[in-house]
Amino acid sequence: MPKTFAVITIAALPLLSGPAGAALELVEQNTKTVGATVITWDSSLRDLDYEIGTTLEAEIHWAVDAGAATFSNFRLRGPNFTPKGPDPAAGFLLGVDPPQDSTGQGSSGAVLVRFQLTELHCDADRQMQIGNAHFALDLTIDQDGDGGTDSVVAYGVNVHVENLGPCDAAAGGPPPGRGPRGPNG
């Protein structure tokens, strides 16, 4: 039986503050069932006032609603940073502090991650720079219901950032002739 609302609320405690005051807001949590294990985790975060190159620090929480799970890894996944194309977003995963977690139903954990975006994509229609970071929280879970953890499952974590202001080369946007609309702007 899934945990009560209070337990899920605890897993969603406010997160994150980077060294330069960059703050991430928790936007969404997801719940996923794989085999005998049900996990609820922080899946979507954002910073709507991001300064390029600022280190973001996030504590990604999860709760074991049924079954068992332990931390395995936290990594970049898929395209790593988006949008791609002639004016791509780019960045780095700087560090991961492994959690102290327990394994059984009703347990929870959190991993502290640090990353930064070094380039953002120019969204000319909205006159802002944007970027997305795509991560995987890998947990070893109880697939067959025997209480042991025997299968690694990736749980997606996405971060969206925006930087209001001009979309020109001087502001870190694309140089003339590059960007979402091509050479004719």
For the chain, give every domain's residue range. Answer: 5-159
Mean pLDDT value of segment 16-25: 56
- Given CA atoms 87, 159, 18, 154 in this order, what sign does their dihedral have? negative
Q: Regarding predicted confidence, which is higher, 55 or 164?
A: 55
Q: What is the dihedral of CA 30, 51, 76, 130, to 10 degrees?
A: 70
Question: 5-159: what CATH class?
Answer: mainly beta
Mean pLDDT value of segment 97-111: 77
Q: What is the mean pLDDT of the chain?
A: 81
Specify the pLDDT at position 2.
Answer: 39
Specify the pLDDT at position 149.
Answer: 87
Specify the pLDDT at position 184.
Answer: 37
Contact 42, 29 (CB under 8 A): yes
Mean pLDDT value of segment 26-50: 96
- Structure token pair of residue 53: 């190159």
Predicted TM-score (pTM) above 0.75: yes
Specify the pLDDT at position 185.
Answer: 38
